[in-house]
Amino acid sequence: MMADTAKNARIGIIAGSGMMPISVATAAAAAGRPVHLIALENAADAEVETFPHTWVNIGEIGRILKVLKKEQCEDLVIIGGVRRPKMDDLRMDLGTLANLPALLSALVGGDNSVLSSVVEFFEKKGFCVVGAHDIAPDLLASDGPMGRKRPSKQDSTDIDMAIELINAMGRFDVGQAVVVARGHVLAVEAAEGTDALLERCANVKRWSPKWGKEKSGVLIKCAKPGQERRVDLPAIGPETVRRASEARLNGIAIAAGDVLIAERAGVIEEADKLGLFVVGVAAGTSQK
């Protein structure tokens, strides 16, 4: 379902890393919505240049606002990964300095608090911040298996345990992803992101004789309870599947309707090729 503003209004997309900004822009264009991408330097993929775009430094808040207004963007999507920049890499402009008190205030608190403050900042500037799923609902995970392989009984038990853990951790603003193997919690996602989480799992299995060479375990991704859905829904793509395979997992479970999938066809193709399952599940509901 599209956002409530005029259907022909241009959508601004602040694009971080990964293919999700490209997927959102493609879906918007297919629906007849013009877009303009604000491509963040050292983050956004070069493919953003296939759309109308402007490259900016993350410190150039004034320039970001100026471009969005010049391009007459009404809806605004903030999507893609962004690493905390080093101070030496920031190029703050006059617009950043003018808004410095509000920006510093937005950085106080946990991830969800920060993201809610970012949304509030842009909405006060006159933009309607919408979720990627509002523009491109087909990017949301569907319920059930998405490839040839299915989870085993043990996998389903591990999925239940992981969902319970994510729901319990939600009030601490921690973790969109967990890896559980044979009833053991191998890793919980922290600030480093899912790729680093899977690398940790690969190292645990590589150096611990307990796990042997056989595949085991499931990566589960869900939105945290109370999560700011407009700018922080979890996502997977083909690279997630490849890294899950390198960690010798059996598969990936994602919350149906609460996780975005970039390059869905590529995810399914990669999962079938590597022998992993990818399944959409009802978060909070037993899979047994």
Cβ proximity of 218 and 271 under 8 Å? no
Which residue(s) pair with 220 in the sheet?
A: 178, 253
Instruction: Please state the separation of Cα 254 from the chain's center in Å.
Output: 12
Same CATH topology for 10-137 and 140-281: the answer is no
Number of other residues whose CB lies within 10 A of the CB of residue 97: 11
Question: What's the burial of 17, exposed, middle or buried (CB within 10 Å: 0-12/13-18/19+)?
Answer: middle
- The domain segmentation of the chain, as residue ranges, is 10-137, 140-281
For domain 10-137, which CATH number applies: 3.40.190.10, 3.40.50.300, 3.40.50.20, 3.30.1490.20?
Answer: 3.40.50.20
- Give the separation between CA 278 and CA 114, rounded to whole angstroms: 31
pLDDT at 284: 55
Residue-wise pLDDT tens digits, 187-196: 888 777 888 8
Predicted confidence (pLDDT) at residue 109 exceeds the cutoff of 70: no
pLDDT of amino acid 108: 52
> Is CATH 3.40.140.80 the right assignment for the domain spanning 140-281?
yes
* SS3 label, residue 272: helix
Predicted local distance difference test score (pLDDT) of residue 5: 45
Average pLDDT, the chain: 85
pLDDT tier at 141, thresholds 50, 70, 90: very high
Degrees to nearest 5, angle at CA 44 with 141 and 96 = 115
Element spanning 281, H or E: strand 277-281
Query: What is residue 77's three-state secondary structure?
Result: strand
Q: Give residue-wise pLDDT tens across range 4-49.
A: 445 568 999 999 988 899 999 999 999 899 999 999 998 999 999 9
Q: 135, 3 in Cβ contact below 8 A?
A: yes
Helix axes 238-246, 264-274, angle to 10 degrees: 20
